[in-house]
Amino acid sequence: MDFGTVTVEELKSGFIFKEKDSTYSCLICNESYQQGIIYPGENGVLYDAQYAIRQHIQSKHDSMFHYLVGMDKKYTGLSDIQKQILLHFKDGLTDKEIAKQVDAGSTSTIRTHRFKLKEKEKQAKVLLAIMDLLANDTVEDELVKVHKGAKMVDERYAITEQEKLKVLTNYFKKGLDVPLDAFPSKAKRKIVVLQNIITKFNRERKYSEAEVNQILKEVFGDFVTLRRSLIEYGFMDRSNDGSEYWVKG
């Protein structure tokens, strides 16, 4: 999930509405529901698309609160003890009850954690405001959008439009519609090159391995490396038996 492209409200709800194809899509697993279609629910009840996506999140992922709290520290900034305490807050436990559950020693320790979490909340609000103001004023060095299938979003994806153009120019010296001159060794450059290569596939269809190979052969001689990299970096996915390939996201 790329949190940089969604709003706080969308994170809380757990889904986004894609205007392009009028679908509600789950942020966790990408399950989608088409607007205008009625979906069967429990006990014969019928749901519209928006209600169906909400029911999906509740039944398949428990709640966005639990999912977000359970994420890695690099996303939440929360320590393990803070995560435990937040879960107990959610369950409605008193500070005294929580102190026993997490072996924190005393209710005063829990109150200290509660205060620190409130301070984090204030800091987060200020940072959101700062970044929003910065986004409104910044017109250059915009970062390239991370593709939805990305398996691990880190510094490799901190690519500006200017950097992207430079990489494409270096590796597609005769133009983007002609064969690749060389496949880069550095991950950051690979991502840029793969972003261009994946545009040669139709997102609406599935391909056999032979079809994928044929398309990639026209891009670069070592089509096996390209195919493997498209899977590795989450641009494509395939069936367990390798008989079908498709564009992710």
Averaged over 230-238, what is the pLDDT?
A: 92
| Res 15: pLDDT | 92
pTM: 0.53
Checking if the pLDDT of 186 tops 80, the result is yes
Q: Where in the chain is the domain with CATH 1.10.10?
A: 155-247
pLDDT confidence of residue 157 = 76
Cα–Cα distance, 127 to 64 (Å, whole number)? 22
Q: pLDDT digits over 89-144, tens only? A: 999 999 888 988 887 668 899 999 999 999 999 999 998 888 888 766 654 556 67
Mean pLDDT of 42-62: 88
Q: Does domain 155-247 have CATH number 1.10.10?
A: yes
Percentage of residues of the chain with pLDDT beyond 70: 90
8 Å CB contact between 159 and 143: yes
How many whole angstroms separate alpha carbon 32 and alpha carbon 25? 4
Name beta bridge partners: 23: 18, 34
